[in-house]
């Protein structure tokens, strides 16, 4: 297969647990772009926290942020954005309050925590994604079931089945796979020409969708189950080692 796009998750995949990039990863991501491949950074992070990673790499590349709610071109232009309807924002706020769960709102205007003093002012912002997080799995489970029952939201639960540690909530029909599909149509890349790297449940559909889905060895069982290949992430360089093999094979 002649690959045309490399889509890379950040935390736990390209970045190590300290949020840094190994020399091996950085080298081969740069080599991939230099060879003519489209390199895309795909993350649950807000764009404001992805740009510094792009700067560390010394590259200008497309960005898919907040689990696919926004797509940005390599030169920083917004290509697509999906926001939560106001009705769903108020529902989220109510359910979090009733279950005593703090949340983090990923808005067009920035990222805000519900325990901040000026939080009510943020209700006027454009909400992309919400992260619920609690040490009380029972509260999170109850909130998850209520949100699921609305049938209006995309939910991603992290942690053991039935015992979530955190939940991502975003507009219906959004996700990393859907955003990659939109970007590929813009760039003229076919689905089967995409290599995707990931390590967690917000990467699951992306790995299933891509022509070659590559999961890190520490990924949850259900994520590894949908991947075509599983790679160790020794010294935080699993992406670099794999890219080097892919590119050497392509040039052979």
Give me the pLDDT at residue 114, please.
Answer: 84
pLDDT of residue 120: 54
Angstrom distance (rounded) from CA 241 to CA 95 = 44
Q: What is the 3-state secondary structure (H, E, C) of 34-88?
A: HCCCEEEEECCCCHHHHHHHHHHHCCCCCEEEHHHCEEECCCCCEEEECCCCHHH
Which of 151, 171, 191 delimits the end of a domain? Answer: 171
- Provide the number of structural domains found in the chain: 2
* 185 and 224 both lie in a single domain: yes
Same domain, 188 and 226: yes
> For the chain, which ranges sit under pLDDT 50?
none
**Residue 68 sits in the same domain as residue 109:** no
From 146, 171, 196, give the residue that closes a domain: 171
What's the confidence (pLDDT) of residue 235? 76
Identify the CATH number of the domain in which residue 239 sits.
3.40.50.1000
Task: Take residue 157 and report the two structure tokens written for it.
Answer: 């639960």
Asked if 162 and 209 sit in the same domain, the reply is no
C-alpha distance across the termini of the chain, in Å:
13
Residues 228 and 124 placed together within one structural domain of the fold: no
Listed residue (247, 231, 183, 240) closest to 209, CA to CA: 183
Output b/e per residue, 49-65; b: 16+ Cβ within 10 A.
Answer: bbbebbeebebebbbbb
> Residue 142 in 3-state DSSP?
helix
Q: Which of 122, 147, 171 is the last residue of a domain?
A: 171
Residue 121 has a pLDDT of: 58
Which residue range forms the structural domain that includes residue 147? 86-171
């Amino acid at each position: 297969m002649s690959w045309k796009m490399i889509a890379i998750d950040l935390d736990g995949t390209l970045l190590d647990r300290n949020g840094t990039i190994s020399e091996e990863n950085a080298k081969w991501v740069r080599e991939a772009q230099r060879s003519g491949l489209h390199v895309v950074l795909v993350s649950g992070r807000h764009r404001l926290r992805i740009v510094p990673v792009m700067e560390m790499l010394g590259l200008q590349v497309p960005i898919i942020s907040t689990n696919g709610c926004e797509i940005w071109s390599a030169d920083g232009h917004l290509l697509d954005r999906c926001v939560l309807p106001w009705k769903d924002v108020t529902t989220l706020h109510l359910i979090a309050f009733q279950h005593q769960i703090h949340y983090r709102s990923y808005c067009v205007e920035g990222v805000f925590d519900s325990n901040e003093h000026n939080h009510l002012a943020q209700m006027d912002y454009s909400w992309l994604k919400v992260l619920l997080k609690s040490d009380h799995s029972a509260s999170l489970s109850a909130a998850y079931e209520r949100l699921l029952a609305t049938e209006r939201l995309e939910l991603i639960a992290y942690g053991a089945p039935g015992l979530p540690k955190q939940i991502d909530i975003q507009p219906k029909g959004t996700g990393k796979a859907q955003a990659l599909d939109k970007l590929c149509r813009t760039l003229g890349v076919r689905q089967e020409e995409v290599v995707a790297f990931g390590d967690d449940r917000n990467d699951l559909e992306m790995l299933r969708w891509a022509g070659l889905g590559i999961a890190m060895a520490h990924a949850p069982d259900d994520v590894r189950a949908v991947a075509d290949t599983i790679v160790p992430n020794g010294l935080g360089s699993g992406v670099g080692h794999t890219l080097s093999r892919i590119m050497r094979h392509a040039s052979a």
